[in-house]
């Protein structure tokens, strides 16, 4: 409670006015979230850290990177330090009939914003798990090496440290190391700017029925990884995918590669939430090895 009062005092000092009221709007494993109303009537969205002290610094860097592309709305950053992050309040609207087709088209444009190398200048977080984006020259220039080492193998080693790796997963990873190039063959493209954690909980519909991206885990990678993530928990409306494909078609063979990209996020859920995700991880992995 004392820390909360300190944060509110800090926010009031930044705003130059008192916080009139607060409303809890949930949060997740990284932060608690509140809507703040100030005495002069303005509002903002506040997140308070529940995990690493640099989590908001990394989130702000990701939001700013997405903003550079000028494709999809992200919340304006008002203030941040290691204790809290203040963002503009996004007024939620009703999804129009063309919301998802518009979203798919805009994401396709975002993915055309590229870089020379894979990764990102700093590491960040996927949920509360560290996401390693800094890499050596070979990984920065070779997607297969980057994805295997910095995504799959990193999560696997975390799971191993936590005692979550059984023989099916262990034996599968032994085989995967020699199969990963074959699995990803045909997907060669330049690095694309990715939100990195794009599921239904990480976008909003604003008052103009436009998508707004939140809670990024930004890096430059293959866009197929992003699209696979959108399908992991039930997927988006079919018009999202058809619009994306019409705007920026995915390389041939994407459907075959989808499971290997889902595997990263399922391994992360295994590390975050435990054995309920073990069977799904094994199934995704062995879909390439049987």
Closest CA to 242 of 233, 250, 254: 250
- Please, are residues 268 and 125 in contact by the beta-carbon 8 Å criterion? no
Active site residue 255: no
Phi, psi of 92, rounded to the nearest 5 degrees: -75, 135
Catalytic residue among 81, 197, 255, 290: 197
Taking the C-alpha atoms of residue 260 and residue 263, their distance in angstroms, rounded to an integer, is: 5
Closest CA to 288 of 260, 251, 252: 260
Q: What are phi and psi of 70, to 5 degrees?
A: 65, 30
What is the C-alpha separation between 109 and 115, in angstroms, rounded? 14
Q: Are strands 129-131 and 211-213 parallel, antiparallel or unpaired?
A: unpaired
- Active-site residue set: 197
């Amino acid at each position: 409670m004392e820390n909360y009062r300190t944060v509110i005092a800090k926010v009031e000092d930044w705003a130059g006015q008192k916080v009139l009221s607060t409303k809890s709007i949930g949060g997740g494993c990284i932060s608690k979230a509140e809507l703040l109303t100030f005495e002069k009537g303005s509002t903002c969205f506040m997140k308070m850290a529940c995990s690493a002290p640099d989590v908001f610094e990394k989130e702000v860097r990701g939001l700013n990177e997405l903003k550079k592309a000028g494709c999809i709305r992200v919340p304006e950053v008002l203030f941040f330090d290691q204790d809290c992050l203040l963002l503009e309040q996004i007024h939620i609207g009703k999804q129009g009939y063309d919301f998802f087709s518009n979203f798919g088209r805009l994401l396709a444009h975002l993915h055309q914003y590229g870089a020379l190398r894979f990764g990102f200048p700093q590491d960040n977080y996927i949920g509360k798990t560290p996401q390693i984006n800094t890499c050596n020259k070979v990984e920065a220039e070779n997607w297969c090496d980057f994805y295997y080492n910095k995504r799959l193998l990193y999560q696997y080693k975390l799971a191993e440290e936590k005692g979550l790796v059984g023989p099916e997963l262990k034996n599968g990873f032994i085989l995967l190391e020699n199969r990963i190039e074959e699995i990803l063959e045909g997907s060669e493209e330049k690095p694309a700017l990715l939100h990195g954690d794009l599921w239904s909980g990480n976008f909003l519909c604003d008052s103009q029925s436009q998508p707004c991206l939140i809670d990024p885990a930004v890096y430059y990678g293959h866009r197929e990884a992003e699209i696979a993530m959108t399908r992991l928990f039930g997927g988006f409306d079919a018009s999202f995918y058809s619009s994306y494909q019409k705007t920026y078609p995915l390389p041939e063979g994407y459907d075959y590669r989808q499971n290997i990209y889902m595997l990263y996020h399922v391994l992360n859920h295994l590390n975050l939430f435990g054995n309920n995700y073990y069977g799904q991880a094994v199934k995704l992995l062995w879909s390439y090895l049987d």
